[in-house]
Amino acid sequence: MPGIEFYYDFRSPFAYFATQRINLLTERGANITWRPVFVDVLLNLQMGQEPWAESVDPFCPPKRAHFMADIFRLIEFWNIPFNMPCPPKPSCNQAMAVAALLEHDGVEHAEFRSAVFRAVWQEQKDADDPAVLTTCIEAGKHRSNLMDRAAVEGIELLTRNTVSAYEVGVFGVPTFILDGNLYFGADRMELLATRL
């Protein structure tokens, strides 16, 4: 069974789109290893900054406008359930830190991931709101002490993992790696499926 590493961040609409299309890969027998990373840290590293420097939008205005238009084109083309998040630029740091802890501990957490993606990109909820995050953790039947661990241990772990991901070539999300070959973007999943 071919193994694919899937790098994601809950705050990326394109990572969310990839989760809605993951059957393109699993139906071909792929074994997916989910790798949570901080997209802001990846962007800072690309610009030669410290991981937690104040983030700057890397897009010029025309590219930002295209980025936003592309979201809605893909939603319509792929027929994916979607609502613009609230706030418009979602904060998912604590949720990502919880995901990093679960991955590190070897705990299956598909239900947690699905609950967070759904909360952000369908239900217009703030994933870092403690009540929302607690609901997502409970959806996966995980222990509530994860939120306490996430604040420091989870953030540090996720930062280290993101730096390691950058060092092997990951520059954004969603990214898939198969046999050392990197595929970036939910719209590259057909290429990856063909490779499988």
Banded pLDDT at 55 (limits 50, 70, 90)? confident
**What pLDDT does 1 receive?**
76
Sequence length of the chain is 196
**What pLDDT does 145 receive?**
86
CB 110 within 8 A of CB 142: no
Averaged pLDDT for residues 38-64: 88
Percent of the chain residues topping a pLDDT of 70 = 100
> How far is 108 from 12, CA to CA, in rounded Å?
22
**Residue 33, SS3 per DSSP:** strand
**What pLDDT does 35 receive?**
98
Per-residue pLDDT tens digits for 102-111: 999 999 999 9
How high does pLDDT run on average in the chain?
A: 94
> 52-66 burial by CB neighbour count: b if 16+ within 10 A, else e?
eeeeeeeeeeeeeee
At 157, give phi and psi (nearest 5°).
-65, -45
CB 42 within 8 A of CB 7: no
What's the one-letter identity of residue 163? V
Just give the CATH number of 3-195.
3.40.30.10
Say if residue 56's pLDDT is above 80. no
Say if residue 24's pLDDT is above 80. yes
Task: Work out the angle at residue 190's Cα, subtended by the Cα atoms of residues 187 and 192, and round it to the nearest 5 degrees.
Answer: 105
**Residue 164, SS3 per DSSP:** helix
Banded pLDDT at 174 (limits 50, 70, 90)? very high
Say if residue 159's pLDDT is above 80. yes
Averaged pLDDT for residues 183-193: 97
Banded pLDDT at 54 (limits 50, 70, 90)? confident
**What pLDDT does 16 receive?**
98
